[in-house]
Each structure stands twice: as structure tokens, then as C-alpha cells.
Amino acid sequence: MVFGGSLNYIKLKLYSSTSTAPTFFIFGWNYVQEINAYVPQLLCSFSTTMTGSQANALGTVFEVAGATLVTGDAKIFTGVTTTTAGGFLLIDTLGCEYIEVCSNAAASPTITVLHAGL
């Protein structure tokens, strides 16, 4: 999933169609005029813990409740515990024009990302 970046920070809330806890990779993309191409940079990556299933406007989903930072820089806010709903991440976009969210999970779940620029 790719969407427009924010000059400062972006808040992410992540959902998955399966209970398999994916690892996420967040990339920032900037246009480099000298080479006429967009160049990616890894902003952060993190492993996750999931909630039990919940029904909401997205259907029946599993919410990312907690995360463990693997690389980069992100502020992680868990739910009341690392297995209850309410967790989100705050990521410094470093002024990137576009943000890409990639996941790596064995079950190939459908990932839904709610985002807000700050």
C-alpha cells in the first residue's frame, strides 16, 4: 500500500485478515531529479502481536495491538496490554513524499492501514 507522506510524522493503525502476526516494513520514497526516479529508504520495520478477531467497518479483522521495533525509528503505542485493541505507531517520515507499507506473513493476509499525517 502506498499513500502520500506527511512532512513530519504519520500515525498508523494496522489491521490484518488473519491472526498470523506479520512483520511490517515502512518505506519512504522521494523523487530525485538528477536521476529522474523515486528512491526508497527504509524508515522502520517491526514485528507485531495481534488481538483476537473483532467486527468493525472493515469486516472481521485482527488488529495489531503491539509491536517490537526491528530497525529504524518509530514510537510504539500498545493497547492496554500487547494483546488488546488500541495500539498504533507514530513514525517520522523524514519528509518523504510517499509512504509504502509492506508486510511479510506466511498466510499472505489482506492488510488494511489507517493513516493520518501529523
**Predicted pLDDT at 108:** 80
**Predicted pLDDT at 7:** 81
**Predicted pLDDT at 70:** 95
DSSP letters of 28-75?
EEEEETTTTEEEEEEEEEEEEEEEEEEEETTEEEEEEEEEEEEEE-EE
Residues pairing with 25 in the sheet: 45, 102
Q: How many CB atoms are located within 10 Å of the residue 85 CB?
A: 15
Q: Which of 80, 98, 90, 86 is nearest to 27 (CA)?
A: 98
**Domains in the chain, number:** 1
**Predicted pLDDT at 49:** 87
**Predicted pLDDT at 53:** 81
Q: Give the separation between CA 104 and CA 23, rounded to whole angstroms.
A: 5
Its domain, for residue 64, covers 2-117
Give, for all 118 residues of the chain, the pLDDT tens digit: 899 888 889 999 999 988 888 999 999 999 999 999 999 999 999 999 888 888 877 788 898 888 999 999 999 998 877 677 888 999 999 989 999 999 987 778 888 899 998 7
Q: Give the separation between CA 43 and CA 37, rounded to whole angstroms.
A: 19
C-alpha cell at 41: 529508504
